[in-house]
Chains A and B, each alone.
Chain A
Amino acid sequence: VDAVELALAGAAVNLFPARLQMALSLGWHIVFSCFGIAFPAIVVFAEWRGHRRGNPALTELAHTWAKAMGVLFAAGAVSGTLLSFEMGILWPGLMDRFGEVFGFPFVLEGFAFFIEAIFVGVYLFGWDRMSPRAHMLSSAPMIVSGIAGAFFVVSANAWMNNPTGFRLDAAGKVVDARPWAAMFGPSTWPQFVHMWMAAFMVTGFLTASVYAVGMLRGRRDRYHRFGLLIPLTVAAIAAPVQIGVGDWIANTVAENQPAKLAAMEARYETTAGAPLSLGGIYRDDQLHYALEVPYGLSLLIHHDPNGVVPGLEEVPPDERPPVNVVHLAYDSMVGLGSALLALGAWFGLVWWRRRRIPTTAWFLRAVAVSGVAAAAALQAGWITTEVGRQPWIVYGLMRTADAVSPAPGLYLGVFAVVAIYAVLTVFTVIVLRRLASRHDTPAPQDVEESPPDRHAGEAALR
């Protein structure tokens, strides 16, 4: 009994630091994975346009992006390695009990990542060494595996939100695990498409913001114009799609995780004709100081102004997520997403009417901050889905507190992770800045010496 009590004490001490460590590791990794998902397609598009139009500015832009992609991919790879350790080190209860059900997509993700790593190397190496056609063809596995990898990882997270594909026996032990079925629960597709579009928005706005800053500093050459134009177009297309996907995913949450939806809206009472609440502080089962849009929530969820939306009162108090965090994160995501949509519309309108980038400095300033805004929206969305699932690690089945490792001293890990990621962030920024100012800076996957001219390279490869 003493040993059990000691172990439980360890778990209680470890819980918050472990959650913090996981949140930090994932929050860092997710930004880089966005580039792994969306950037390859954007880079190859720029390469293709540059080749077809015979435009050296575009080709140089694509080459610089390819190198940046290499740097970002390396940063994503090392942070992903840590995550795969942390899954077990921090949450052994989850892996022990449910690993056989939802661990499987990680195996597939391992393959997808492997393929992507190989072909990022091939793509960078093949620059100027392969024929343009062969080079662009070689990028196809890189693009596909980036997207596939995102699907696999998101499907594992979707499983934690809506566990399917197994039965529990009387003792609560998993029997009859069907890993393929577990990958395709009700949350998988909406969550994946949401993440996919988010990746395009984050990558598009962040990349465009770099060139907006350059243009604000007076560098308005073709290189910078294209550098802004291509990623911003991608992001501007993804933004309205994301609104539709948002509706889809909100409905999925309402159906499968009513407590999460109630927390997102900070709604205590089950209400017919529920208003949409923006902002405010939730205290004593009541939301204060919020802006309310009458019937908004019922319309959003049921597409009917009198639809009934369940509130937190339906859920036992010890099964409610922390309301303020979830509500404010959700509102931040929606608010930032709407602002980005407006920015994309502004750009689209001017482009449609005048075939040019808006010339006012305010537009460039808006694009310059849009990257950070998109990344913040991404984090806010991630917080919404993760904190909104609490206190469960597997919704309705296993509490996060029961999954954490009771190992003594585990809580110290978070300090090390903070320090490591601080250093890693500084160096990633240094290298990317250097790449932006000096395009001949080699990427991690580049071979050191300068490539031969195109014809010699082709001859060597034949």
Chain B
Amino acid sequence: MNPDPVLPEVVLGVMFVGLIAYALFGGADFGAGIWDLLAGGTRRGRRQRELIEHSLGPVWEANHVWLIFVLVVLWTAFSGAFAAVVTTLYIPLTLAAFGMIARGAAFAFRKSVTTLAMRRFFGAAFALSSLVTPFFLGAVVGGVASGRVPPGIAAGNVVTSWLNPTSLLGGVMAVLVCGYLAAVFLCGDARREGEHDLADQFRARALAAATVTGVVGLGGLAVLRADAPALFDGLTGRALPVIVVSVLAGVAAIALLVVRRYVLARLASALAVATVLVGWAAAQYPYVLPPALTIDQAARGTPTLVAMLVALVVGGVVLVPALIYLYVLFQRAHPEHPGSTPPPRTGAVVP
């Protein structure tokens, strides 16, 4: 119940930008872990794994702070909706948190150990958790989007809220999207490091992942129609223009991959993924928890929302330059081949 109808939507919108950032950057991180899992035996997969480790290396923590950001904005500005979601969906959320611990710890520690057995163990933990974590997060989205999370603490069914067709679709789509994004991003990384054969391998994977994701995504509409008709109506109604943009961006990304324009392909694929999320938001607007709780009803008091916006703006002013500094520093830093001795440095190669 808020006197100002715009403020809650602005705060939620900023949170959603954080969610998109998490899907793109964190998603690519998860996806890289998935490709790590699929890279083959220790020897055969070595170069791919080195490239993956190299690309993730110094920024893995930064990419995952986006999720923390989403959580804290939700619990402060939309406390009731937050409490409803995390209690009804506590099982997939707890499992996702465990996955993040396993993933973060394994990735952080595996380069600090040398024995093959330990490296394999950490590598396996990293790769497996990269697969299951986005699945659970996608299942959470599916549970909310299909209207299975009623307002109130633990008011929904703690099992069927995430074990249902829409959640299953959400989980599978999340995994596919992560893999797709990572493959596209890794094409550019591999080429920048002069590993053209690796770039071609990831290009093939990106194309395959794009096709599978597109097919599952469009086929998933049939699942939604049966399981979550309100969401289906939203996606094919109000959100249709956004979904069309997503499909076009996806097709453009495929074309750009075919002609090896990797930087543009990154942008197009990021747009395709971001618009899927925007489409979901548009489809369930104005509800935070469809079909009962609207944004306006869920928002907390104006002073809290104002404080939040001030903090987000000031924090953003501090954070964005720092983040850009970090990316520029590291993108400049290693244009050499992974695992080989560094050649003379020839200045910046920023994509």
For B94, what are the chain A residues with a Cβ–Cβ distance below 8 Å? Answer: 85, 89, 413, 416
Q: Is B43 an interface residue (CB 8 A)?
A: no
Q: Is B251 an interface residue (CB 8 A)?
A: no
Main DSSP-derived SS at the B contact region: helix
For A57, what are the chain B residues with a Cβ–Cβ distance below 8 Å? Answer: none
For B319, what are the chain A residues with a Cβ–Cβ distance below 8 Å? Answer: 111, 114-115
Shortest Cβ gap from A180 to chain B (Å): 6
Are A459 and B345 in contact, CB atoms less than 8 angstroms apart? yes
Q: Is A211 an interface residue (CB 8 A)?
A: no
Q: Is A56 an interface residue (CB 8 A)?
A: no
* CB contact between B90 and one of A89, A100, A447 (< 8 Å): that residue: A89
Q: Tell me whether A407 and B108 are in contact in the complex, defined as CB-CB below 8 angstroms, given that A79-B101, A85-B93, A175-B301 are known contacts.
A: no
Q: Is A218 an interface residue (CB 8 A)?
A: no
Instruction: Type the 1/0 row for A375-406, where 1 means its CB is closer than 8 Å to any CB of B.
Output: 00000000000000000000000000000011
Q: Which positions 284-315 of chain A face chain B at CB distance < 8 Å? A: none
Q: Tell me whether A125 and B330 are in contact in the complex, defined as CB-CB below 8 angstroms, given that A107-B76, A405-B87, A452-B345 are known contacts.
A: yes
Bound Cα distance A366, B240 (Å): 70
Are A96 and B83 in contact, CB atoms less than 8 angstroms apart? yes
Bound Cα distance A111, B65 (Å): 9
Instruction: Type the 1/0 row for B112-135, where 1 means its CB is closer than 8 Å to any CB of A.
Output: 110000000000000000000000
Instruction: Type the 1/0 row for A101-135, where 1 means its CB is closer than 8 Å to any CB of B.
Output: 10110111111011101111110111001000000
Are A100 and B79 in contact, CB atoms less than 8 angstroms apart? yes
Q: Is A82 an interface residue (CB 8 A)?
A: yes
For B104, what are the chain A residues with a Cβ–Cβ distance below 8 Å? Answer: 74, 77-78, 81
For A442, what are the chain B residues with a Cβ–Cβ distance below 8 Å? Answer: 111-112
Are B75 and A444 in contact, CB atoms less than 8 angstroms apart? no
Are B68 and A89 in contact, CB atoms less than 8 angstroms apart? no
For B40, what are the chain A residues with a Cβ–Cβ distance below 8 Å? Answer: none
Are B87 and A89 in contact, CB atoms less than 8 angstroms apart? yes
For B109, what are the chain A residues with a Cβ–Cβ distance below 8 Å? Answer: 71, 74, 427-428, 430-431, 444
* CB contact between B158 and one of A79, A408, A430 (< 8 Å): that residue: A408
User: Which of B176-184, B270-278, B307-315 forms contacts with chain A?
Assistant: B307-315
Are A179 and B303 in contact, CB atoms less than 8 angstroms apart? yes
Q: Is A210 an interface residue (CB 8 A)?
A: no
Q: Tell me whether A104 and B311 are in contact in the complex, defined as CB-CB below 8 angstroms, given that A92-B154, A111-B318, A125-B329 are known contacts.
A: yes
Bound Cα distance A157, B303 (Å): 21
Bound Cα distance A407, B157 (Å): 9
Are A448 and B57 in contact, CB atoms less than 8 angstroms apart? yes
Are B87 and A448 in contact, CB atoms less than 8 angstroms apart? no
19 chain-A/chain-B pairs, Cβ below 8 angstroms: A81-B100, A85-B71, A88-B71, A92-B86, A92-B87, A95-B83, A96-B80, A100-B301, A107-B311, A118-B326, A122-B326, A175-B301, A176-B301, A177-B300, A178-B303, A405-B90, A409-B91, A447-B330, A460-B333
The 4 closest A-B pairs by CB, nearest first: A99-B79, A103-B76, A444-B108, A100-B300
Binding site for B on A (CB under 8 A): 7, 10, 71, 73-75, 77-82, 84-89, 92-93, 95-101, 103-104, 106-111, 113-115, 117-122, 124-126, 129, 141, 174-180, 405-410, 413, 416, 420, 424, 427-428, 430-431, 434-435, 441-449, 452, 456, 459-461
